[in-house]
Amino acid sequence: MSATHGRPKGTFYDRYMPELADMIFASGNLMSINEAIYERFPPDFKFVSATRESAEKRIRKRWKDEHEALLAAAAKRAQDRKIADLRAKVDQALLQDAMKLRELATGKPPYSDLFAMQHVYFIDRATPEDYKRNPMVPLVMSFGQFQVAHQRRAVLAKLNGGKAA
């Protein structure tokens, strides 16, 4: 047989290999390649340029040859998904904090200006470092709005008997 016998790597059903490896990895390596194939490709699934038998044979052969690398890549993808989920949760929390500050900066303050006067002069000014501490704040408000929100947050903290933020 020549080296070019059969379909070359990169045929259209080879793109399913990472998905099959993810299924097997997610099962804790308890699922076999045959179970993954039958779960992913129901009996009515049509492989466009190959018969079902030849496609399954090709998938099984590639799995036999490269299953360690495919499982390692599946483990990396699973870890990347977990990291991305954590990043999304952190970004969501940061965005909520930024939106609360924006709410505080817009409209009237939730306290009387007469009461605030005795506290305003003793509040530290907001710095550009404070503004950039939460990376979502520059996306939702200007530095001037942040200074107003910082001042109002500090006055509210004094009102509630807490420490200025």
pLDDT band of 122, cuts 50, 70, 90: confident
pLDDT score, position 143: 93
Tens-digit pLDDT profile for residues 4-58: 566 556 566 778 889 999 999 999 989 999 999 999 888 888 877 778 888 888 8
Count of domains forming the chain? 2
pLDDT score, position 2: 47
Same domain, 26 and 67: yes
The beta-carbon contacts of 11-14 under 8 Å, at least 24 apart in sequence, are: 11/49, 11/50, 11/58, 12/47, 12/48, 12/49, 13/47, 13/50, 13/55, 13/58, 13/59, 14/58, 14/59, 14/62
Same domain, 27 and 79: yes
Same domain, 116 and 81: no
pLDDT score, position 9: 60
CA-to-CA distance for 75 and 25, rounded, in angstroms?
Answer: 7
Higher pLDDT among residues 162 and 69, named by residue:
69
The whole domain housing 65 covers 12-88
* 96 belongs to a structural domain: no
pLDDT band of 136, cuts 50, 70, 90: very high
pLDDT score, position 79: 95
Query: Can you tell me which residue has the tokens 């704040």?
Result: 137
- Whether the per-residue pLDDT at 1 is higher than 50: the answer is no
pTM of the full predicted structure?
0.61
pLDDT score, position 4: 56
